[in-house]
């Protein structure tokens, strides 16, 4: 991806930050200034976002290092304002391998959340809106716990491009084959996307955005797999033709 800042390598995988990430940091600083926050509060907010993205990198490394075990290398992990992307050189077609790779990402966030849950003293009461409204040294780690839980829940949505979509496809592929499984998973994802957009229209515009994201994620995944299958069929046919001619 162009215009990315290279942070270095972890286990041979390049970690890149896309320039649009700076817009996110700028937006945080701007909104803190508008609230009249002092420098310490602003820095804490920035530190919080950076920590979230550290969790995202660990999530992506979960995918990448599991893929490596199956002989699939990862060129880079790119951080975007909306999350991270691990660029695997290919997605294994073996459903068990895809399942393990897909689960490994959210599993990292489960481990982080579990570790925080173990070290943090339990909250005396359920957090209210004020608890979430600003980051303080007292609630920093609690909020980090919630964010990791959200990452797990979000990726549990069984639709592409979320990890849950890949888990669903892999599970279906055990019985139905990859092409049919992708079709079903993509259709389910698109129905879910339309449902999100419908709900978002009435309650929260952010859901419309997620809906669009999911809709096109499902569509493109289906296109890629159907197209690959078509190509494969094509090659088989070409091969048969060649044989025929040789005969
Ligand atoms: Zn993931």
- DSSP secondary structure string, 78-135? EEETTEEEEEES---SSHHHHHHHHHHHHHHHHHHHHHHHHHSPPPSS---HHHHHS-
Predicted local distance difference test score (pLDDT) of residue 237: 37
Distance 102 CA to ligand 1 centre (A): 6
φ, ψ of residue 136 in degrees (nearest 5): -125, 165
Burial of residue 101 (CB within 10 Å: 0-12, 13-18, 19+) is buried
Query: Would you state the structure tokens that stand for residue 162, as one six-digit string?
Result: 């979320």
| Rounded Cα distance, 22 and 127, in Å | 30
Distance 162 CA to ligand 1 centre (A): 7
Q: Is 90 helix (H, G, I), strand (E, B) or coil?
A: coil
In which residue ranges of the chain is pLDDT below 70?
A: 1-2, 226-247
Predicted local distance difference test score (pLDDT) of residue 60: 92
DSSP 209: H
Predicted local distance difference test score (pLDDT) of residue 229: 58
| Rounded Cα distance, 156 and 181, in Å | 17
* Interaxial angle between packed helices 163-176 and 140-156, expressed in degrees from 0 to 180 and rounded to the nearest 10: 30
Look over the chain and give the mean of its residue pLDDT values, rounded to a whole number: 83
Residues 79, 53 contacting (CB under 8 angstroms): yes
Predicted local distance difference test score (pLDDT) of residue 227: 65
Chain position carrying tokens 């390049």? 14
Q: Is 119 helix (H, G, I), strand (E, B) or coil?
A: helix
Q: pLDDT digit string (tens) for 37-52?
A: 889 899 999 999 899 9
Predicted local distance difference test score (pLDDT) of residue 5: 86
φ, ψ of residue 161 in degrees (nearest 5): -90, 15
Distance 240 CA to ligand 1 centre (A): 40
Who contacts 182 (Cβ-Cβ below 8 Å, separation ≥6)?
A: 169, 173, 221, 222, 225, 226
Distance 114 CA to ligand 1 centre (A): 18
Residues 84, 60 contacting (CB under 8 angstroms): yes
Report the catalytic residues.
Answer: 60
Distance 122 CA to ligand 1 centre (A): 28
Distance 103 CA to ligand 1 centre (A): 8
């Amino acid at each position: 991806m162009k215009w990315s800042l290279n942070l270095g390598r972890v286990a041979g995988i390049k970690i890149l930050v896309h320039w649009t990430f700076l817009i996110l940091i700028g937006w945080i600083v701007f909104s803190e200034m508008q609230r009249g926050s002092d420098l310490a509060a602003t820095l804490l907010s920035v530190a919080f976002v950076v920590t979230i993205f550290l969790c995202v990198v660990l999530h992506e490394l979960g995918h990448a290092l599991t893929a490596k075990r199956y002989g699939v290398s990862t060129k880079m992990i790119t951080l975007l304002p909306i999350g991270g992307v691990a660029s695997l050189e290919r997605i294994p077609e073996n459903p068990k391998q895809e399942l393990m790779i897909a689960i490994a990402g959210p599993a990292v966030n489960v481990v982080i959340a579990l570790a925080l849950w173990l070290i943090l003293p339990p909250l005396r009461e359920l957090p209210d809106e004020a608890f979430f409204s600003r980051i303080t040294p007292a609630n920093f780690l609690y909020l980090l716990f919630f964010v990791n839980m959200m990452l797990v829940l979000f990726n549990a949505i069984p639709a592409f491009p979320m990890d849950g979509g890949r888990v669903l496809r892999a599970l279906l592929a055990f019985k139905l084959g990859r092409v049919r499984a992708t079709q079903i998973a993509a259709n389910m994802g698109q129905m879910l996307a339309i449902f999100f957009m419908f709900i978002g229209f009435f309650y929260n515009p952010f859901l419309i955005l997620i809906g669009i994201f999911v809709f096109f994620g499902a569509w493109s995944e289906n296109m890629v797999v159907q197209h690959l299958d078509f190509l494969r069929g094509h090659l088989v046919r070409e091969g048969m033709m060649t044989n025929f001619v040789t005969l």
